[in-house]
């Protein structure tokens, strides 16, 4: 197996090993870390996945990247501890499935990445007797997944910024009821503003003493775990060795989709990716026209975790197709648009279509979707309508959150209150606490210096 090193998408920072990429998060040149080489599985290796548990596949995927970094036994213990919950594959009709990534402790797919990353960071920090301050912005689900994944770890403190008007009560409560090493900050602003404050803090040398690290989807430690469920679902659902698969991924910052792109490069026979966004449609437009224009400010849509006007992982995606995009969205080398268009189909789903699909899916198939999963499923339906030749293919649409996280919408559309998963029971009664900061970098910096 090859030793995998990581380079920055801005191409100015040094190439580093996994540990540095994980603990740094963002590269010093503000680029994102990418593996210099993507390891591959043989067909025989992939065949064996059909007989494996989720955590065993997670071990095989992780080992391809980390074998020279973490001893097998330690890595196995980490994945076994991180993935102790179900990954349901729900048949909808024919060869069409929904993969529910909502059974983790915060009932969103972000648990998959956060739990693994938290354990990897803890592993290194323990060895080196160091401490870290995780600083992260959330549009709802990242923050709670990160806060829960790091809660109680003694080497790591966590500060999460969230836009007060863009998260649901339940999403907020999943963060603000924790306490201990977890501090939550509300901003009367948009998610993008939260993200800018975080980015500014990272590039501020006066804050170096805090040992800041990011847990946003820009951290490579979050992308590697997100490769696994693509392999898992395919291995469990394929009928023959040669069967190919189509995935539909409801997307915001494109961390989820990047996991799938890596899976494809690693040898998973993915015929097509459907990348479905909400009304923040900068990406589908880019795929269509080749021109990229970020949306500022981002639009507030029902699928709030996807209200992203400039996806933070986009420069990684561009790099996969041999292009270069900097952190501002400027493309200095055009990616291979032909190849990109062969691999993916991207479409934007309006809020109205999102609502209609929640109603239709339930009525037609008793398929219960929340707004994010509905965007993915609607994207798949649109694709199949446009390209009926793919009708018989194995298609897997990702459901990225539990419907019970969006009770207001579900009641409004379907007229019933979805049952809470066990992980969310008792949340309503817990006491909340969080601070507020003005949407202003100097204010935010003062807050950090005073508190840490």
Complex with ligand PLP: residue 69 or 195, whichever CB lies closer: 195
d(CA 155, CA 173): 24
Closest residue by Cα to residue 398 from 259, 281, 271 = 259
Other C-beta atoms closer than 10 Å to the C-beta of 452 total: 15
Complex with ligand PLP: residue 110 or 115, whichever CB lies closer: 110
* Least gap, CB of 239 to ligand PLP (angstroms): 29
Closest residue by Cα to residue 61 from 82, 44, 38, 88 = 38
Complex with ligand PLP: residue 118 or 252, whichever CB lies closer: 252
Phi, psi of 345 (to 5 degrees): -125, 125
* Least gap, CB of 150 to ligand PLP (angstroms): 17
Other C-beta atoms closer than 10 Å to the C-beta of 91 total: 12
User: Could you tell me if 339 and 261 are in contact, meaning their C-beta atoms sit under 8 angstroms apart?
Assistant: no
Complex with ligand PLP: residue 143 or 186, whichever CB lies closer: 143
Concatenate the DSSP letters of all residues of 140-159 into one string: SHHHHHHHHHHTT-TTEEEE
* Least gap, CB of 15 to ligand PLP (angstroms): 25
d(CA 289, CA 313): 20
Closest chain position to ligand PLP (CB) = 141
* Least gap, CB of 251 to ligand PLP (angstroms): 4
| Residues forming the site for ligand PLP (CB under 6 A) | 108, 110, 141, 217, 250-257, 305-306, 372, 400-401
Tokens of 270: 């993915």
Complex with ligand PLP: residue 31 or 252, whichever CB lies closer: 252
Complex with ligand PLP: residue 40 or 165, whichever CB lies closer: 165
d(CA 392, CA 58): 29
* Least gap, CB of 434 to ligand PLP (angstroms): 19
d(CA 150, CA 115): 8
Per-residue b/e over 321-346, b at no fewer than 16 CB within 10 Å? bebbbbbebebeeebeeeebeebbbb
Complex with ligand PLP: residue 305 or 413, whichever CB lies closer: 305
* Least gap, CB of 368 to ligand PLP (angstroms): 14
Complex with ligand PLP: residue 75 or 167, whichever CB lies closer: 167
* Least gap, CB of 261 to ligand PLP (angstroms): 12
Complex with ligand PLP: residue 69 or 139, whichever CB lies closer: 139
Q: Is 415 left (phi over 0), alpha (psi -120 to 50) or beta?
A: left
Tokens of 329: 């969205």
d(CA 46, CA 332): 37
* Least gap, CB of 450 to ligand PLP (angstroms): 30
* Least gap, CB of 163 to ligand PLP (angstroms): 14
């Amino acid at each position: 197996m090859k030793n995998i090193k990581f380079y920055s998408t801005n191409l100015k920072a040094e190439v580093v090993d996994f540990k540095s990429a994980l603990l740094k998060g963002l590269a010093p040149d503000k680029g994102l870390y990418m593996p210099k080489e993507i390891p591959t599985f043989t067909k025989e290796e992939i065949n064996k996945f059909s007989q494996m548990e989720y955590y065993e596949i997670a071990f095989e995927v992780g080992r391809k990247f980390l074998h020279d970094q973490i001893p097998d036994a330690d890595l196995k213990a980490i994945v076994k501890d991180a993935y102790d919950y179900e990954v349901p594959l729900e048949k909808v009709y024919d060869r069409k499935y929904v993969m529910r990534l909502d059974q983790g402790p915060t009932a969103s797919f972000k648990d998959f990445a956060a739990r693994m990353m938290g354990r990897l960071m803890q592993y290194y920090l323990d060895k080196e007797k160091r401490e870290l301050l995780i600083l992260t912005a959330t549009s709802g689900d990242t923050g709670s997944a990160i806060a829960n994944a790091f809660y109680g770890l003694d080497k790591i403190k966590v500060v999460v910024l969230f836009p007060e008007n863009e998260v649901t009560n339940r999403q907020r409560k999943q963060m603000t009821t924790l306490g201990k090493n977890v501090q939550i900050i509300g901003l009367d602003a948009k998610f993008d503003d939260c993200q800018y404050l975080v980015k500014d803090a990272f590039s501020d040398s006066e804050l170096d003493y805090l040992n800041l690290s990011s847990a946003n989807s820009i951290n490579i430690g979050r992308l590697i775990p997100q490769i696994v469920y693509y392999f898992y679902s395919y291995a469990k659902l394929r009928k023959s060795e040669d069967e190919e698969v189509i995935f539909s991924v409801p997307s915001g910052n494109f961390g989820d989709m990047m996991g799938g792109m890596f899976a494809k490069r690693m040898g998973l026979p993915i015929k097509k990716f459907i990348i479905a966004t909400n009304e923040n449609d900068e990406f589908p437009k880019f795929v269509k026209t080749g021109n990229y224009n970020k949306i500022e400010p981002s639009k507030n849509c029902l699928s709030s975790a996807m209200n992203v006007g400039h996806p933070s992982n986009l420069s990684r995606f561009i790099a996969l197709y041999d292009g270069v995009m900097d952190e501002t969205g400027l493309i200095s080398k055009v990616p291979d648009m032909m190849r990109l268009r062969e691999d993916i189909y991207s479409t934007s789903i309006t809020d109205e279509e999102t609502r209609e699909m929640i109603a239709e899916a339930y009525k037609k198939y008793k398929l219960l979707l929340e707004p994010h999963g509905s965007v993915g499923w609607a994207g798949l339906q649109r694709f199949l309508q446009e390209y009926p030749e793919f009708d018989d293919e194995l298609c897997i649409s990702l459901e990225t959150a539990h419907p019970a996280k969006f009770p207001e919408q579900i009641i409004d559309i379907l007229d019933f209150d979805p049952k809470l998963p066990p992980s969310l029971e008792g949340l309503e009664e817990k006491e909340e606490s969080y601070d507020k900061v003005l949407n202003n970098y100097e204010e935010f910096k003062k807050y950090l210096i005073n508190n840490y």
